[in-house]
Structure 1
Amino acid sequence: MSTKNLATSWARFRSTPGRIARYVLNARALSTESPCASRTISQSPTLGLQNGRDLFNYTRGRFITDEQFELSQRCVDFNVDALARCAAETVGAESCISIEKYPDGMYNKSMLLTMDNGSQVVAKIPNPNAGIPHLTTASEVATMEFIREKLGTPVPKVLAWSSRAQSNPIGAEYIIMEKASGVELEQIWPSLDIKERFAVVKAVAGYQKSWNSISFKKFGGLYYKKDLDSDTGNDALYVDADGHDIVDTKYAIGPSPGREWIDNGRVNIKLDRGPWKTLTEFHSAIGKREITCINQLPHLPKSPVTLYGPGIYIPTRERKLEALHCYMTLLDAIVPSNSAISSAHLWHEDLHVANIFVNPSNPAEVVSIIDWQSTEISPLYFLARQPHLIDHAGTPVTGIERPQYPADFHSMDPEAKKAAETRYFQRSLCALYNFWVYKANPKLHAAFEFQRTPEFSLLLLARNIIIDGEATYLAQVLELEKLWDTLPGAKNKSFPLNFSTQHRARIAAELEGAEEGMNLMSSIRDSIGELFPEQGIVRHDQYDETLDALAQMKTQIIEQFAKNEQEKEEWERLWPFGQ
């Protein structure tokens, strides 16, 4: 299982963008009863509102595993009348006359509120699974203002907000912000030619350049000073583009609000969430986080990208802890010393077509970038990524060389030629982005170069060992041993780990089994196509069909790999799909 393939699978799993549609209700007609106590699951492909409860419940799709728990994590009760009054007062209107619910996100409820004077605002209320109460909302608001005011990025202005659910009349944390102007890039992207698309990508890349123009003095999350309980002092907050230390009495760096510190049960574990003054402290905290969670969680989360079972590979706490022991031991040697790529930055890590708004008359003019929740201050080499909007199937384009048409392009049949041409333009767009970064943003280019090293692979994979990757990690450690003398951080140091011949053989066998598990998951995805539950969710009208297709896949795989009744039961236990 290569690190690249594992990372690609994780990216696909974690970045399924929302689709914009609206569910309309009259704000005055809503029931005041608590909707979460009487959740209903819509069986209709048309997700109409049901007595107002759909405003509070998750209605976008069905979860194929542990559905009642997943729904409870996305159900939030709040006082709609109070929200409507607050929004109206914020913009100087007499009243709010309608609320339109956007399709549910994984972590928030978002609504469009229209006033009697025609003005509109967007309200955002975090779900229970959004993050640590208070900190998640407080950090998002501070980050949005800093990014807009200090770094010149078009971000909706926050008009009103509260991160204390118990001390406001709405009864929930909320953010009321300007409605993003322009249109979602998603609406016009398919109609743009490659020159227009590159103009958009170049504009987005320009904002990426502004984000790494300043570097923060600590790693963690950005907040207003008043929202942190601890004394943050008056030390410099960041270093500006001219290399000057900047003291800012309004902002401070506090705990990280990043999703990796929250998801998969981590939110309930006592951890060092920062802030961290040094790169080594930051990476050490990641390792300690994973070790603590592996030891304390009652059940380890199942992988969404790899299938496990008897006859291939079965993850254990022991193997995960072994991988993390290697990580902690190697840390000093694999953490880069190049400050240009390891400096701390704020960065939007999910630049897909639903998060970017543009001027429809001039798509190269980006007028708003939304969704800054859980943004953390991290090393540049963790943040560096081409915008999701130019992602495509196939081998990633990592260099600046211009792609070429296939040698037999002119002899292809029309259908094959069209597909080849589409791939060529997709790859060309990536190459143009890479070339622009190479010329205009050398720090980001250097970070991309570091991402191609074995050291980066070991830093990256360790971030999710609780879920997946320990077999790959241990195999990568053995590969690193061969390259040890070439690593800048290993100068005058001997390789600090010892592996017996038997140990090496075990690692190789487990890697082979884990690779087979990843191939099996890919086969399931390919076999059932659009029925595959990305992020564990399917459309309402596909729920039963998906369960049936997955049941058939499970039967086939168990028949192939289970040698006895005990192994069959183990496959049943480890199967990641179904109730």
Structure 2
Amino acid sequence: MLDPKSLMKDLESELFNYTTGRFLANNALRLRERRRVFDIPGLFKIITKALPCKTEEIVDFRKLGEGGLNCTFLITLDTGFQLVARIPYPILIPKAYTLASEVATMDFLRFKGLPIPKVYAYSFTSKNEAEAEYILMEYAEGVDLSQIWFDLKEGEVISLMDQLAKVESTMMSMSFPAGGSIYYARDLKELSGNEGIPLEDDSEGIPLDEQIESKSLEKERFCMGPDVSVPLWYGRREQLDVFRGPYEDAKSVLVTGAKKELAYLDQFGSPRAPYQRFRREYYNYEKQPPSDHADNLRRYLCLAPSLVPDDDSLNTFCIRHPDLTDSNIKISIDSSGLQILSVLDWQHAAVLPLFLHAGMPDVIQNEEDEVSRGMTEPKLPDDFDKLPEEEQEWEMELLRRRLVHYHYNLSTAAYNRIHHKGLVYPLNTFRRRIFNHATAVWEGETIKLLYALMDMVFGWASFANDGTPCPVVFTEDEKAAAVQLYEALGNAEMGERMLMDGVGYGEETWVPAAHYEKAKAFGQEMKQMTLKACAEDEETTEETYAVIETNWPLDDMDEEELEEYK
């Protein structure tokens, strides 16, 4: 019999610590942010009540995986039945709202017939026997699509893109009375004091057993409440008493993020250097005033109403997966082909106007490629058999990217006309881009928002068909300065991509744990090579050399400085 108390003897075990990866910069801090000690015997008691079962029937408890914001554990009973416990890291924000919303979103979509794991129990506070927030859910059978993603044949790509388009069509066809995020009304009342905007009790198309299950959960009805999108809550923004939904219309969505950021800058704004240290050179390593970004946010608010599409069907509220990647899809592999079994990870899901949801998932889109942009049917080059092996491998990978992009578009056109209409709507990519820049947290720069504002101002005729004059004006000199900085920063992005590819790190300087020591050493070698080149440059002063050394992107940043960006 498994003794849960024995699992608590070593609080430094992998059960409580992040072990999958390391971070080349601020490793100790990043690991601390992902460490979560919880009461395992208490969790076992919760499991026995939720299933129900007896503690002695639990024969195995082990870590299943570590994500960006959560750790998952696999629990096995003596009958062979398995379930998953997911516990968030301290860095999950806004923790209670996000967890409550994710559970309600999963239940709502599951009851609508989508392939979503069943939730057995949850708590959005740590005031429970496990002393941690948690979700107990059905174990999703199958294989992660990520395990075969790079080996898919064209027929498999077509089948999976068809299935995905149908799943998204079901999702995006659901109607909502408002925007925001989904909650159980009882949970939202406990969190905020109100019950949100109720969703209609629409059980059409839901299997009878799931209708009965839904009614037996003894929870309040679903409702729309505050949007749990991260930029609205990040860091000290969570302390702000600002509107975050539910939204009554598209315009409300467009302006809420910018108003939130203005409130943040007013209360917490202070001069700061760009967070991305590769970009600081182009600002002469000087701290940037928050007033510049505040000015651009106010300009955006003047223009935002004109971003609302004239076609009302594009302004209807709908839901979509918040981060659809190959690792969030479980599939079966058998003689009948690949089948989507489950779609996972629904935290931070939001109900937004269709035009803001329309777009290809990052793991699928290949817009940087001319063939994909032109929607030309992909094929291997005619001389493929004569190419060296290394070039053949590259051409095969390029073909795979193009096939996924191409067939996702075709499948969406065939099975999800609602989404396809948003994909092809004029300037819709731009609408999403400027909205995202205006909603994003301020990290010491405003150039992305400024550049998008100038695109809109100088292309105003595309947004104001009635001849209304643009309420924002930029001079040609202002435009020239912005273009110069924007293009110069392209060099910074190129340099950072080269460093990332060379050293082999990802977001937040993450590397696999086994690669850490080698990557750390190589990163420092690259730093010394860079400093040596600077020293040999006659134009480099001692002051410049010192500044470059201090701002090396793979060195630790002072934790007090990091706090400024929250």
> Shorter-normalised TM-score: what interval?
0.7 to 0.9
Q: Which residue of 1 aligns with 2:437?
A: 461
Separation in structure 2 between the aligned mates of residue 70 and residue 473 of structure 1, nearest angstrom:
29
Deviation of the 1:538 alpha carbon: 1.6
Over 3 Å counting, the alpha-carbon distance change for 1:263 and 1:91 in structure 2 is: same
Q: Which residue of 1 aligns with 2:48?
A: 88
Over 3 Å counting, the alpha-carbon distance change for 1:573 and 1:393 in structure 2 is: farther
On the 8 A contact 1:215/1:238 being kept in 2, the answer is no
Greater CA deviation, 380-389 or 123-132? 380-389
Q: Which residue of 2 aligns with 1:482?
A: 458
Q: Residue 244 of structure 2: SS of its match in structure 1?
A: coil
Alignment of 1:428-577 (within 5 A): 428-450=403-425, 453-464=429-440, 466-467=442-443, 470-487=446-463, 489=464, 491-528=466-503, 530=504, 532-557=505-530, 559-560=533-534, 563-577=540-554
Deviation of the 1:155 alpha carbon: 0.8
Separation in structure 2 between the aligned mates of residue 403 and residue 238 of structure 1, nearest angstrom:
45
Deviation of the 1:218 alpha carbon: 1.7
2:85 is aligned with 1:123: yes
What per-residue deviation string (whole Å, max 9, x for no partner) do you get for residues 547-569 of structure 1? 33333434455554984333344
On the 8 A contact 1:255/1:274 being kept in 2, the answer is yes
Separation in structure 2 between the aligned mates of residue 238 and residue 388 of structure 1, nearest angstrom:
34
Q: Aligned match of 1:308 in 257, 280, 285?
A: 280
Q: Could you tell me which amino acid in structure 1 is paired with residue 108 of structure 2? A: F
On the 8 A contact 1:400/1:435 being kept in 2, the answer is no
Deviation of the 1:372 alpha carbon: 1.0
Separation in structure 1 between the aligned mates of residue 126 and residue 530 of structure 2, nearest angstrom:
47
Q: Which residue of 1 aligns with 2:338?
A: 364
On the 8 A contact 1:82/1:170 being kept in 2, the answer is yes
Q: Which residue of 1 aligns with 2:326?
A: 353
Q: Could you tell me which amino acid in structure 1 is paired with residue 346 of structure 2? A: W
On the 8 A contact 1:215/1:240 being kept in 2, the answer is no
2:120 is aligned with 1:159: yes
TM-score between the two structures when normalised by the length of structure 1: 0.82
Separation in structure 1 between the aligned mates of residue 102 and residue 303 of structure 2, nearest angstrom:
34
Separation in structure 1 between the aligned mates of residue 41 and residue 552 of structure 2, nearest angstrom:
44
2:29 is aligned with 1:69: yes
What per-residue deviation string (whole Å, max 9, x for no partner) do you get for residues 256-308 of structure 1? 22222344654454443222212112121111222333451568685559632
On the 8 A contact 2:364/2:408 being kept in 1, the answer is no
Deviation of the 1:140 alpha carbon: 0.9
Separation in structure 1 between the aligned mates of residue 294 and residue 18 of structure 2, nearest angstrom:
36
Q: Could you tell me which amino acid in structure 2 is paired with residue 139 of structure 1? A: S
Q: Could you tell me which amino acid in structure 1 is paired with residue 519 of structure 2? A: T
Unaligned 5+ segments in structure 1 are 1-24, 36-49, 243-247
Task: Provide the aligned C-alpha RMSD in A.
Answer: 3.2
Separation in structure 1 between the aligned mates of residue 365 and residue 475 of structure 2, nearest angstrom:
42
Q: Could you tell me which amino acid in structure 1 is paired with residue 338 of structure 2? A: A
Separation in structure 2 between the aligned mates of residue 308 and residue 271 of structure 1, nearest angstrom:
31
Alignment of 1:62-461 (within 5 A): 62-95=22-55, 96-150=58-112, 152-166=113-127, 168-229=128-189, 230-232=193-195, 250-263=221-234, 266-295=237-266, 296=268, 303=275, 307-310=279-282, 316=288, 317-361=290-334, 362-390=336-364, 395=369, 397-398=372-373, 400-406=375-381, 409=384, 412-413=387-388, 415-450=390-425, 453-461=429-437
Deviation of the 1:75 alpha carbon: 2.0
Over 3 Å counting, the alpha-carbon distance change for 1:409 and 1:58 in structure 2 is: closer
Count how many residue pairs are aligned between Structure 1 and Structure 2: 528
On the 8 A contact 1:234/1:249 being kept in 2, the answer is no
Separation in structure 1 between the aligned mates of residue 444 and residue 365 of structure 2, nearest angstrom:
23
On the 8 A contact 2:184/2:221 being kept in 1, the answer is yes
Q: Could you tell me which amino acid in structure 2 is paired with residue 161 of structure 1? A: Y
What per-residue deviation string (whole Å, max 9, x for no partner) do you get for residues 181-219 of structure 1? 223223344554210222122111111001111232222
Q: Residue 137 of structure 1: SS of its match in structure 2?
A: helix
On the 8 A contact 2:168/2:320 being kept in 1, the answer is yes
Q: Could you tell me which amino acid in structure 1 is paired with residue 279 of structure 2? A: L
Unaligned 5+ segments in structure 2 are 206-218, 557-566
Separation in structure 2 between the aligned mates of residue 174 and residue 359 of structure 1, nearest angstrom:
27
Separation in structure 1 between the aligned mates of residue 80 and residue 443 of structure 2, nearest angstrom:
48
Over 3 Å counting, the alpha-carbon distance change for 1:566 and 1:280 in structure 2 is: farther
Question: Percent identity of the aligned residues?
Answer: 24
Separation in structure 2 between the aligned mates of residue 499 and residue 368 of structure 1, nearest angstrom:
49
Separation in structure 2 between the aligned mates of residue 434 and residue 107 of structure 1, nearest angstrom:
31
